[in-house]
Structure 1
Amino acid sequence: MADELELLRSADPVPADGPYLGDGPLDQQAERRLHRLLHDHPAPAPRRRTRLAWGLAASAVVATLVSALLFTGQTTAPAVAAPRPLVVRADSTPVPLDTIARRAQDAAADGSPALRQGTHVQSWSLGMSDRRAPITLPEERIVRWHADDSHTEIVVATDPRHPGRPVLRDSDGEPRPVEDGHVLSNRTYPPSWSDAPPRSTPPHDPARLRAYLQEAAYSDGPLNTPELLDAVDVLLDHWTLGARESAALARLLAGMEDLRPAGQVTDRLGRRGQAYVYDDSATRRMLILDPATGTVLGLETTFTSAQPEYGVKPGDVMEYSAWMR
C-alpha cells in the first residue's frame, strides 16, 4: 500500500503551494480565542503565557540543540499528521482513569524518571482563513534550560509522515513550502525573576498541583474539565513531568467525571496509549495517557461540527500536541 500511495503522490499534478491553499492562518492567540468561542461554558479569562524578552542566542548552544533535534531520529518516527483525527481501536477495552491513577502511583514509587524543566513536543495546528481552505502546519519544538536560568528554544518545520519532503509553512500571510528540518526560529531567553506557575516547580501532591494549575490558568475558582486540559497544555509547554508529577496529575484527571475513557489509540508518534474524551457542542478533546505510568502522551482537539466560514468540516483536527522526554 505504501508504494501505491507514493505513486499517487508523485502523479498528483497539483503543486504544494497551489492557490487553493489558505493564505492566512490564525496566530496562536486567535486560534485559542476561536476555540473558547466554540465552547458552551463561559470563556475563562485570557490565558497569559510568560514570554520573556529574548536576547542574542549563544551559537554553540543553538548548534547543539539543532543537532539534537534534527539528528536524534525523533523527526522520523512514524506518525499520522492532522487533519485526520486519531481513531480509537474498536476492539479495545476502555481503562478507567482511576485505574491509570493507581498504576501511575505504583510506577512512581522510586521517583524515576525525575521532573525536568523544558519540553520536547511535536505539534500540528490548523491554520484557518475566511477566504481559502485551511492548512495544517506541523512543527517540532525543543526547549532546554541552563544553569543560569536562561533557556533556549528551537522550532523546526517537520512532518514525520514524510521525512525529507518539503513542509508547508505560513510566511507573510501566504503558505509556502520549506525544506524538512528548516529552522523556523532559535532564541535564547535571559533569566527571569518570575516564580509564578508555570515557571515555578510543579508539586507532586494532587491537592497542591490542583492549586498550582488553577493559578497557572488565572482562574478564581475550581477548574472545569476544559480549563484543566488547557492548564495541562500550558504546564507541558514548560516542564517534562517526572513519575511523581504524572501520578499526581493522573489523580486529578480521575476526578473529572465528564472526561470519559474511550479505549486504546496509537498516537502520532506511533505510541500506544489510552484515550480520554471530553465533548462539547462543537469540539472533542482527546487526552492520550500512557496506560502503565499515566504520562501524558498527547492532546487533540477535533471539530465535531462544520465551520463553513473557515472551510472546516466535522472531524478536522484543530490542534494536536505529542510530548516526548
Structure 2
Amino acid sequence: MNAVNEVRQLLSGLDPAQGIQPADDERRARDLARILASDQSLRAARQAGSRRRLVWGVAAAAVLMVAAGGVAVETLREPQPAYAATPALLTYRQSANAEPAGSRLRRLAAVAAAQPALDRPAGTVEHLESANWFLNSSISGGRATSAVVPQEWRSWRSDDGAGRMVKKELPPTFRSDADRREWQRRGSRVDSSQETRDFAAGGFYSRFQGAVPTDVAELRGWLTAGASAHEAPVQYLEDVAELAGVRLLNPAQRAAVLRLLADLPGITATGTVTDRAGRVGEAFSITSSAHGLPAQYTVIVDPHSGALLGYEEMLTTTAGKLNVTIPAVISYRSYLVAEYAPMPR
C-alpha cells in the first residue's frame, strides 16, 4: 500500500464479506466470466454503437497504480478518442424518505450480528476470491496512454497468519491500437500474468494480523496499528474495503465494521443498486479530496447479511492529468467468495 499512497500524493497536482454464502463452482465460473469479460464486452459495445462504457479500471500515473474505488449515478456519453475507456456507471435508486446513512448502517450491523457463523470443517482456512479492475496510465510528454487490466484475486489464510495468494492479471484492453503500440514501446506487458506467493506464519497480509476486534474504538485503532490515526474519515472506509478482500469475518466482527462506517462524518446513503455481479445491495458514500483529486468513495452492502459486495471510486470534478472524462469510475472491486476451504497443496 506504500506505492498507492505515493501515487495518491502525485495525483494532487487511485471481511464483512463472510455473509456471502459459499458459491457452487458453476455460479463462480459464471460470475467471474461475466465480470471479467472486459475485452469482449468493449468490442461488442463498439460494434453495436453502444454509448455506454464497459471496461473496468483504476487510474494511475507514470506507470504507477492507484487502488481505490468509486461509483457514479448515470450513463456517460461515449468518450472521444483522446480519452481512456472507464466502467459504465451504476444506477442508484434513492427513496424520497431514505433513512440517514448512520441509522441505516447501525440497523445493518444488527442484521450482521444476528447471522449464524459459517460452519468450519476441520482442516479448513479462510478462502476469499474477488474480481478487480486496474486502469494503468503512463504519462509522458503530456500524453497519457492507458490500458485496462482485469485482475482475479484468490487467497487462503490460516489462523496463524500463514497463507497463499494467487493474483492473475488478464490481458490488458486498450482504447486504441495506438495506445497498444505505445504501451508496448514503453516495455509494458500485453499478455496475461499470474503470481503465486506462499507465506509462513504471520506473513500473509501483515497489515491485518490477528483477530479483528468487535469493539468499534478498538477496531479503529487496529486498522491504523503502527501508524498515526487517519486524518480523513474516508481513509477508514478505504480500510474496510481493503479488509473485505483479505479477511473472512464472523458476524460480530462484520457488525463492528458497519458500526465504524456509521460513525464516519460525511457518510451518506447513496441508494439501492444492482452491483456488477448482479447482486442487489445498499450503497454508502463519502465524497473527499483527501488524496488530491475530488472523488466519491462508495461501498455496497448486502442488506440481508451485512456483507460487503463491492467498492468503487469515482472522480467527480477533475481528472488532473488522467485521460478520462468526468465523472469517471476509476476503480472497482467485486467480492465474490468468502468461505472456509482447505489450503491448496
TM bin, normalised by shorter chain, reads 0.5 to 0.7
In structure 2, distance between residues paired with 1:268 and 1:153: 24
**Is this contact kept in 2: 1:78–1:270, CA < 8 A?**
no
Q: Which residue of 2 aligns with 1:122?
A: 131
In structure 1, distance between residues paired with 2:2 and 2:277: 26
In structure 1, distance between residues paired with 2:159 and 2:204: 16
In structure 1, distance between residues paired with 2:130 and 2:204: 23
Asked if residue 113 in structure 1 is aligned to residue 125 in structure 2, the reply is no
- Kindly report which structure 2 residues correspond to 1:40-189, keeping only aligned pairs within 5 A, or say none: 72-78=29-35, 81-82=55-56, 83-84=86-87, 86-90=89-93, 92=95, 94-95=98-99, 96-113=101-118, 117-130=126-139, 131-146=143-158, 149-158=161-170, 167-168=172-173, 173-174=186-187, 176-178=189-191, 182-189=192-199
**Is this contact kept in 1: 2:224–2:230, CA < 8 A?**
yes
In structure 1, distance between residues paired with 2:279 and 2:265: 26
Query: What TM-score does the superposition give when structure 2 sets the normalisation length?
Result: 0.63
Picking from 223, 243, 248, the partner of 1:240 is 248
Q: Which residue of 1 aligns with 2:16?
A: none
In structure 2, distance between residues paired with 1:255 and 1:147: 29
- Amino acid corresponding to residue 156 of structure 2 in structure 1: R
Sequence identity (%) = 22
- Greater RCO (CA < 8 Å, at least 6 residues apart): 2
**Which segment is superposed worse, 103-112 or 242-251?**
103-112
Asked if residue 206 in structure 1 is aligned to residue 211 in structure 2, the reply is no
- 1:195 is displaced (CA, Å) by 11
**Is this contact kept in 1: 2:161–2:210, CA < 8 A?**
no
Structure 1: gaps of 5 or more residues:
1-27, 41-67, 159-165
- Kindly report which structure 2 residues correspond to 1:282-297, keeping only aligned pairs within 5 A, or say none: 282-297=294-309
3-state SS of 2:117 partner: coil
3-state SS of 2:103 partner: helix
- 1:194 is displaced (CA, Å) by 8.9
3-state SS of 2:211 partner: coil
- 1:145 is displaced (CA, Å) by 2.4
**Is this contact kept in 1: 2:108–2:258, CA < 8 A?**
no
In structure 1, distance between residues paired with 2:250 and 2:184: 37
Asked if residue 298 in structure 1 is aligned to residue 306 in structure 2, the reply is no
**Is this contact kept in 2: 1:129–1:310, CA < 8 A?**
no
1:237–1:148 Cα change, 3 Å? same
In structure 2, distance between residues paired with 1:292 and 1:310: 38
In structure 2, distance between residues paired with 1:168 and 1:210: 38
Q: Which residue of 1 aligns with 2:7?
A: 34
- 1:206 is displaced (CA, Å) by 2.2
- 1:237 is displaced (CA, Å) by 3.7
In structure 2, distance between residues paired with 1:320 and 1:232: 14
Matched positions, count = 259
**Is this contact kept in 1: 2:221–2:229, CA < 8 A?**
no
- Amino acid corresponding to residue 197 of structure 2 in structure 1: R
1:85–1:98 Cα change, 3 Å? farther
Q: Which residue of 1 aligns with 2:178?
A: none
- 1:107 is displaced (CA, Å) by 3.9
Structure 2: gaps of 5 or more residues:
14-24, 37-53, 57-85, 175-182, 339-345
In structure 2, distance between residues paired with 1:154 and 1:69: 20
In structure 2, distance between residues paired with 1:193 and 1:286: 29
Picking from 321, 325, 330, the partner of 1:318 is 330
3-state SS of 1:123 partner: strand
Query: What TM-score does the superposition give when structure 1 sets the normalisation length?
Result: 0.66
**Is this contact kept in 2: 1:243–1:295, CA < 8 A?**
no
